[in-house]
Chain A
Amino acid sequence: MIKLNLAKNTLLISLLMSVSAHTFAFDFQGALKDAAKEAVKKQIDPSGNNTNNTSDTEKPASDAKITDLSKAEPPIFNWQNPSIDEEILLGREITGNLLGAAPLVKDAALQNYVNSVGRWVASQSDRADLPWHFGVIESDDLNAFAAPGGFVLITKGLYKKMTNEAQLAGVLGHEIGHIVKKHQLKVLQKQQLLNMGSNFLSDKYAKDNKLVSNAIGSGAEISARSLDKTAEYEADRLGITFATRAGYEPYGLVDVLQTLSQTSVNDGSVALLFKTHPHPDERLARLGDAIGNKLDNVKNGQTLEKRFYKLRN
């Protein structure tokens, strides 16, 4: 056992890879932060106001707060406890930026197909009520992205590596997992609260702001790096969980990880993926440990290769 762990640790973790890695790289590099600021600006700007409806069933307290504020003064983005609407607003901003870098593939049949698969898989999650959006983007890179509130994008390059619907379901399931667990949102909240905290620190009224103490407390505690890897492994397990629940052959995501593991680290199409994710070999090994015999009784999972939408080029 000790030997095994040692061996795992010696794996070159810098050879990171995989399916949704980008989002995290993206997050940490600050682009996400910019998007967040943009989202806040938009919400504060009365001309761009939109979504303060109280559709948030999870957090009635924060809803009430926002509703009150909107009557008297400009609404504040509640970083401490964002509502679902705020989460979606943020995710939309991030997704719009990503689409600015790589637009959607102009193939409505493809986009519809991916939305059908994604919607069905997302329905097996704990956040089935989100308005889920899926898209294939113009890029030869192998990657996929999730943004808060139900936005999932995968590259055309990665799509082309797949041969059946179960594989697509597994990959989308991984991204859905990130959103369900609010991985990106949490990183963003931490960053943002920390920023606000450092601004407020020079303010003599800082003590009155509960937000500040919370932000500094949480920001200092957790290493973003380890959260990152843990989040990827969790998303892998959730991806398989959701795809399995959806009636697919459970090993679709594993197939894709196998393909990625055979891609050379020198291949530019996986540069970002490998930089931001644990190596697929490590992910496969972790999945193996987590799955054990748990899938032994799952029968009749579908791969649906005949229905899988083939790209023309």
Chain B
Amino acid sequence: MNLLNKLKIAGSIALIFGAGFATAAETGSALKNDKMRFEPYADAKVTGTFGRGESLQIIKKQGAWLQVKTKKSTGWVRLLSVKRGASAASTGSNIATLANGRAGTGQVVSTTGIRGLNEQELKAAKFNETEVKTLESYTQTASQGQQFASAGSLKAISFTTIKSPQTNSAGAAK
């Protein structure tokens, strides 16, 4: 193997690494204005802020927190403040449409044999007693559900119903 080839191989390895890196550092965008914090805790020191729609890099996730990097600073933010993935909904839309075998109208044009569910189809649908009976045949009792939960080490906890923020802020003791 000559030097040139070796260099080529080294080059492609570097390329592969580069590509891997690019996907590892996930991009995202801010769903709202928020503060970044030094640690993933609500009372940690503020390291910076970002505005709604601002694009950012997601470095890592820990529980309900994401470590993100903006142009100006780095810090931790609650994951619900960030939309993951490329910012614009337009990304690769045409490819997605093609791959899905659908025309822009939402009509099925592929050969998957499975129809989409549009309003017309739902409207025209005929009642299917056999399918309902089949559905009902899978029904489980509460105790079966409990057994299934135990098998997965799921433990029920008491947790207050999450109310709408308006309701909360009225009597919030924040």
Q: Which residues of A line the B interface, CB within 8 A?
A: 3-4, 7, 15, 22, 25-26, 29-31, 34-35, 38, 92-93, 95-104, 108, 111-112, 114-117, 119-120, 122-124, 128, 131-135, 138-141, 143, 151, 155-156, 165, 233-234, 237-238, 240-241, 244-248, 250-251, 254, 258, 261-269, 271-272, 281, 284-296, 298, 300, 302, 304, 307
Bound-state CA distance A111–B134 (Å) is: 10
Bound-state CA distance A203–B103 (Å) is: 50
Task: Judge whether B102 and A104 touch: CB under 8 Å.
Answer: no
Q: B90 interface residue, CB < 8 Å from A?
A: yes
Q: B171 interface residue, CB < 8 Å from A?
A: no
Q: Which of A234, A237, A266, A288 contacts B32 (CB 8 A)?
A: A288
Taking the closest CB of chain B, its distance from the CB of A187, in whole angstroms, is 15
Q: Which of A100, A139, A245, A268 contacts B159 (CB 8 A)?
A: A245
Taking the closest CB of chain A, its distance from the CB of B49, in whole angstroms, is 13
Task: Judge whether A103 and B131 touch: CB under 8 Å.
Answer: yes
Q: B16 interface residue, CB < 8 Å from A?
A: no
A307 surroundings in chain B (CB, below 8 A): 152
Q: B12 interface residue, CB < 8 Å from A?
A: no
Q: Which of B108, B139, B165 contacts A290 (CB 8 A)?
A: B165
Task: Judge whether A4 and B33 touch: CB under 8 Å.
Answer: yes
Say whether, besides A38-B127, A104-B134, A272-B117, A294 and B148 are in contact (CB < 8 Å).
no
Say whether, besides A123-B145, A132-B139, A271 and B114 are in contact (CB < 8 Å).
no
B100 surroundings in chain A (CB, below 8 A): 140, 267-269
A296 surroundings in chain B (CB, below 8 A): 42, 64
Task: Judge whether A238 and B149 touch: CB under 8 Å.
Answer: no
Task: Judge whether A251 and B148 touch: CB under 8 Å.
Answer: no
Taking the closest CB of chain B, its distance from the CB of A233, in whole angstroms, is 7
Bound-state CA distance A155–B94 (Å) is: 23
Bound-state CA distance A261–B29 (Å) is: 11
Say whether, besides A237-B164, A258-B84, A266 and B119 are in contact (CB < 8 Å).
no
Say whether, besides A140-B116, A269-B116, A298-B157, A264 and B91 are in contact (CB < 8 Å).
yes
A101 surroundings in chain B (CB, below 8 A): 115, 117, 121-122, 124-125
Taking the closest CB of chain B, its distance from the CB of A245, in whole angstroms, is 5
Q: Give B123's nearest chain A residue, CB to CB.
A: A31
Q: Give B107's nearest chain A residue, CB to CB.
A: A268
A261 surroundings in chain B (CB, below 8 A): 83-85, 89
Q: Give B128's nearest chain A residue, CB to CB.
A: A100
26 A-B pairs, CB-CB below 8 angstroms? A15-B89, A22-B122, A31-B119, A34-B123, A93-B127, A96-B132, A99-B132, A101-B122, A102-B117, A103-B128, A241-B161, A246-B149, A264-B90, A264-B92, A265-B89, A265-B93, A267-B100, A268-B107, A268-B116, A269-B100, A269-B116, A272-B117, A281-B31, A290-B162, A290-B168, A291-B162
